[in-house]
């Protein structure tokens, strides 16, 4: 049923069944009003601008987003109460939070200090996790999108940022988000991930702690350049939060902590709530009830649940102590060792057995690209539905052969490019009459570099880097993996010294006598 656009009646302007009371906010995507619902409740009603929602595809996207976000059941979120993406004037109604935004609170009261800051950081992390748990990214975490209810944060304006996928926003010069709070990968044009929200969470917590944005002020382009370079100012951040925030603001998303890991660390530093504290100043993990998690968690339900449960008996939904983050320098050193070891394996392996190495590299690149496509497809299905289904595993397995076909074209392009570059380098080396093995090592290094940075390499590079990051999350595992790569390099080098170059399955190098390349080399 189509609802009417904003109209004036005898009791004031309306949007659908909601009576507008006063405007409380405005942004590029819409205007937020304090409104009265048909049952008398006050709600925050966001009326989206017509040029943002202008076609059926955008409305379907908003409809899917609203359907996912209705499952969020955290008091840290201004949950959706009603929405109509198909109205002449689309709107979204959320719980009204009668508090200042973090931006206004800092302007009036100054930075948040001590235990209140740690409480704020943990509460905001819980809010972000609640959104991620239904398969949605926030994409626009910043001080003006965080309201303070008492001393606890409430995240607003979530999920609607997916409307940025509308290409008309780019064509008209829109940049969704605030420079200084957007993650570097978004500024580079890459897709947002949960790690992007981690970066925005950290920037917002830095603002709460210091009263200043971590990447400074000034022209938008200057701020965005500092974000890309990771040039932040954390000098006023409390020392106990500094390691967490520094790692969450890493320019490379694979170097950042996960939300579960940082929340686990924060909970170890947040003081236990007193029994007489107001419920909305407690961590969400202490507010769990036995109500159906698919229902919107309302204030009256929350209070009723607390009336029948003591804090000591409340179930815990906090993230377990998954892992302790490595010191930043050690983690980066181990990752450098692993990547260097992989580079060395390709280089020395090519010098030992060029044809066989090319075949193994081709199979590895194809496997990595196919698994990347398959995993990305599975995650997209989960995002659209909001949760995993029992058949996700079998469906992912069955779809793998198709994605092998999909990955073949890009793999061939990458291999042809890398092989051609390595061959050109080899042809430039041979006329000087220098030893063969150093030339093959040089060609192998060029091949490895081209595979890492050549056309279509991103779908190889990103999964490999994620694997390296996971391997270094435990110190011992990082050293074991590094040691294994060193052993492989030494064994291959020993075989090269002992047996020389192995040209199987061909009788010799591609530039041997009687071949076209051989004639070219003789001519040179």
Integer Cα distance of 424 and 308 in angstroms? 76
Q: Outline where 230-353 has alpha helix (H).
A: 242-248, 259-267, 299-307, 328-352
Integer Cα distance of 404 and 69 in angstroms? 34
* DSSP codes joined into one string, 441-491: HHHHHHHHHHHHHSTT-HHHHHHHHHHHHHHTSSHHHHHHHHHHHHHHHHH
Residue 433: count other Cβ atoms within 10 Å of its Cβ. 6
Integer Cα distance of 110 and 124 in angstroms? 18
- Who's near 27: CB < 8 A, 6+ residues apart? 157
Closest CA to 485 of 506, 467, 497: 467
Integer Cα distance of 14 and 25 in angstroms? 17
Integer Cα distance of 129 and 257 in angstroms? 13
User: Which residues participate in catalysis according to the annotation?
Assistant: 140
Any idea of the CA torsion for 255, 256, 261, 267, to the nearest 10 degrees?
140
Integer Cα distance of 93 and 83 in angstroms? 6
Integer Cα distance of 84 and 91 in angstroms? 6
Residue 254: count other Cβ atoms within 10 Å of its Cβ. 15
Question: Any bridge partners for residue 36, and if so which?
Answer: 19, 42
Integer Cα distance of 407 and 484 in angstroms? 29
Here the tokens at position 492 are 């291959």
Closest CA to 127 of 119, 477, 418: 119
Q: What is the DSSP letter of 308?
A: T
Residue 257: count other Cβ atoms within 10 Å of its Cβ. 23
Three-state secondary structure readout of 41-61: CEEEEEEECCCCCCCHHHHHH
What three-state secondary structure class fits 7?
strand
User: Which residue carries 């004037």 as its tokens?
Assistant: 89
Integer Cα distance of 48 and 166 in angstroms? 14
Angle among Cα 73, 101, 256 to the nearest 5 degrees reads 65
Q: Where on the phi/psi map is residue 309: left (φ > 0), alpha (ψ -120 to 50), or beta?
A: beta
């Amino acid at each position: 049923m189509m609802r009417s656009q904003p109209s004036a009646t005898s009791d004031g302007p309306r949007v659908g069944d909601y009576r507008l009371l006063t405007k409380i906010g405005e942004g590029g995507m819409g205007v937020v009003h304090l409104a009265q619902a048909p049952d008398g409740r006050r709600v925050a009603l966001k009326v989206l601008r017509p040029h943002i929602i202008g076609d059926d595809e955008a409305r379907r996207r908003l409809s899917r987003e609203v359907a996912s976000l209705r499952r969020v059941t955290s008091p840290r979120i201004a949950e959706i109460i009603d929405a109509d993406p198909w109205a002449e004037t689309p709107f979204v109604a959320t719980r009204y939070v009668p508090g200042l935004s973090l931006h206004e609170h800092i302007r009036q009261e100054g930075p948040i200090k001590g235990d209140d800051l740690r409480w704020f950081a943990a509460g905001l992390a819980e809010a972000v996790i609640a959104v991620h748990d239904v398969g949605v990214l926030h994409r626009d975490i910043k001080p003006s999108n965080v309201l303070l209810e008492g001393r606890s944060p409430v995240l607003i304006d979530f999920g609607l940022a997916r409307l940025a996928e509308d290409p008309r926003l780019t064509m008209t010069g829109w940049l969704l988000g605030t420079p200084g709070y957007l993650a570097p990968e978004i500024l580079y044009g890459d897709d947002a991930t949960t790690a992007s929200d981690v970066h925005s969470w950290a920037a917002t917590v830095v603002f709460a702690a210091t009263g200043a944005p971590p990447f400074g002020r000034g022209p938008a382009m200057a701020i965005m350049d500092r974000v890309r370079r990771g040039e932040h100012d954390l000098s006023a951040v409390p020392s106990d939060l500094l390691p967490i925030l520094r790692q969450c603001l890493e320019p490379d998303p694979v170097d950042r902590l996960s939300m579960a890991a940082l929340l686990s660390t924060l909970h170890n530093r947040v003081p236990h709530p007193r029994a007489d504290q107001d419920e909305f100043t407690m961590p969400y993990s202490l507010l769990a009830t036995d109500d159906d998690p698919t229902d919107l968690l309302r204030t009256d339900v929350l209070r009723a649940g607390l009336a029948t449960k003591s804090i000591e008996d409340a179930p815990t939904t906090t993230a377990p102590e998954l892992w302790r983050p490595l010191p930043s320098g050690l983690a980066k050193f181990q990752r450098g060792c692993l990547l260097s070891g992989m580079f060395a394996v390709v280089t020395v392996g090519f010098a030992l057995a060029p044809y066989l190495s090319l075949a193994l590299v081709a199979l590895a690149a194809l496997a990595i690209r196919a698994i990347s496509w398959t995993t990305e497809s599975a995650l997209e299905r989960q995002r659209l539905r909001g949760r995993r289904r029992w058949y996700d595993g079998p469906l992912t397995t069955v779809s793998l052969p198709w994605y092998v076909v999909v990955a073949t074209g890009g793999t061939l392009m990458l291999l042809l490019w890398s092989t051609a570059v390595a061959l050109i380098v080899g042809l430039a080396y041979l006329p000087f009459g220098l030893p063969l093995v150093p030339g093959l090592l040089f060609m192998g290094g060029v091949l490895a570099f081209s595979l890492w940075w050549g056309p279509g390499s991103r779908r190889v590079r990103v999964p490999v880097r994620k694997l390296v990051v996971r391997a270094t999350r435990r110190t011992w595992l990082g050293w074991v993996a590094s040691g294994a790569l060193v052993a492989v390099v030494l064994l291959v080098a020993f075989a090269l010294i002992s047996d020389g170059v192995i040209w199987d399955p061909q009788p010799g190098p591609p530039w041997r006598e009687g071949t076209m390349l051989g004639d070219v080399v003789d001519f040179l």
